[in-house]
Amino acid sequence: MSRLYSAVDLVAGIIVVFARLVIIVSGIALTVVTTANVVIRYVSTSGGLSFAQELPMLMFPWFIIAGIVMAAHAGGHMAVEWLYDKLDGLARTAALMVANSISVAAFLVLAYQATVVAEIAGAEHSAVLQLPNSIGYYSLSMGAVIVSIVTIAATARVLRLGWEHRLAIKPEEIAL
């Protein structure tokens, strides 16, 4: 059983590193594309970069989902901290398990529904880049599955090591 917990922790760690990378890369790319478009609008008569409106719309969902994954890993997504502070011992752990089970189930339903919508949206393509409009929905679907995985990992950590090993999000300590 210890190997299973270690594997879950390893997978969650890899996911968090990847989420950080997605946030950094997409954040830089969004900033560069938007800035370049503004500069080109002012120095050119062409009206800016033709793809500059579409690219941020394709990248932004990945940026947001990666942030949600990091928050879920740290216990800061859909948190019910006030309830945990009122409970002790087994009741607190049980409340965490119930809350996280509901969260996992909801995110898995969201993943499924986003995939259904993505299949419909895939029939349309963006005007300039000709990419399917399903990309944002697939990012939501994949992100919801990944949030479920890190939520399961966070729950497993508490079950294995105890409440004091639960990652608690502290806004002043959040850094990529």
The rounded distance, in Å, linking the Cα atoms of 54 and 164 is 45
DSSP character at residue 132: B
CA atoms within 13 A on the CB side of 113: 6
- In 3D space, the residue among 138, 153, 64, 63 whose CA is nearest the CA of residue 103 turns out to be 153
Q: What is the pLDDT of residue 3?
A: 85
Cα(105)–Cα(110) distance, rounded to whole angstroms? 9
Q: What is the pLDDT along the chain (176 residues), one digit of tens a residue?
A: 778 878 888 899 899 999 999 999 999 999 999 898 889 888 888 777 778 788 888 889 999 999 999 888 887 765 667 788 888 999 999 999 999 999 999 999 999 999 999 999 999 998 888 989 899 899 999 999 999 999 999 899 999 888 888 876 665 555 55
Based on the structure, what is the number of domains in the chain?
1
Q: What is the DSSP letter of 125?
A: B
Query: What DSSP state is assigned to residue 50?
Result: T
Measured CA to CA, the distance from residue 67 to residue 26 in angstroms comes to 11
- Structure confidence at residue 1 (pLDDT): 72
Quick count: other Cβ atoms within 10 Å of Cβ 72? 30
Residue of 72, 80, 77 whose CA lies nearest to 151: 72
Q: Which domain holds residue 33?
A: 2-173
Structure pTM?
Answer: 0.84
